[in-house]
Structure 1
């Protein structure tokens, strides 16, 4: 097994282990965030690959799709579920901004290390800051969607 495939297996194990860090009372919120993030990252990932901005030389389902199933459909959504489940709702705006920035920065640094050291991701016409910006935007979109959805479901159940 090549180094890239071992990394993919380790990423799958790590991603699924993140479920243990989601508080039980916030599990429905995390599920919704995961599903929403899957929708938007799958679409964005496909567009980015088709425009030739990023390439995934080693990937699952290589004959079906040029995007990375692991990153676009598993890792980013599960991290987003954790992000939303542990969101510091009652903290200051500055703390919330730091929360967003820390998640985006950690994921971006990990992706950049993977891009530099493996054949899992190759930036063609892409830079790390585009990753950071798209992560920030999709985390913000998922947070707004979850707040909207649960405010609607609360009204409907009253």
Structure 2
């Protein structure tokens, strides 16, 4: 089996294991974040691939979808659910900013390493900083949506 398939299996195992870090009282929040992130990645992922900016040579469901099902529909939404559940609401702005920067940088670094060393993703007209910006923006959009969704109505 090629290294790419082992990586895909590892991502599923790791992402599933990470789900156990969600406290029971925040499962609804995690579910909303997960599903909203899937909407974002579905739309943006398809546009990026169809415009020829990125390519996923090795992927699941290759005959159905040209995006990375593993990343776009499972690993990234799971990470966003964890991001949202453990977000430091009542902390100073520097802590919140650091939280965004840390999550975004780790995901971008992982993507760059995978892009350089495997056939799971290939940048065509894309750069690492575009990934960093889009990942950070999608975290912000998801968190904003979840904050709105769970806001207490004013009487």
Between the two proteins, the alignment pairs up a number of residues equal to 155
- Deviant stretches of 4+, over 4 Å: none
1:155 equivalent in structure 2: 153
Q: Distance in 2 between matches of 1:26 and 1:127?
A: 35
Q: Distance in 1 between matches of 2:26 and 2:63?
A: 37
1:115 equivalent in structure 2: 115
2:8 equivalent in structure 1: 8
Q: Deviations over 1:1-48 (max 9, x none)?
A: 111111100010011111111122211101100000000011101100
- Give ranges in structure 1 of 5+ residues lacking alignment: none
Query: SS where residue 150 of structure 2 aligns?
Result: helix
Q: Distance in 2 between matches of 1:139 and 1:119?
A: 26
Query: SS where residue 155 of structure 1 aligns?
Result: coil
- Give ranges in structure 2 of 5+ residues lacking alignment: none
Q: Deviations over 1:89-114 (max 9, x none)?
A: 00001110000010000000001110
Q: Deviations over 1:126-154 (max 9, x none)?
A: 00101110011000000000000001xx3
The answer on whether the counterparts of 1:23 and 1:86 sit within 8 Å (CA) in structure 2 is: no
CA deviation after TM superposition for structure 1 residue 155, in Å? 2.4
Q: Distance in 2 between matches of 1:97 and 1:78?
A: 20
Q: How much is the aligned-residue C-alpha RMSD, in angstroms?
A: 1.1
| TM-score (normalizing by structure 2) | 0.97
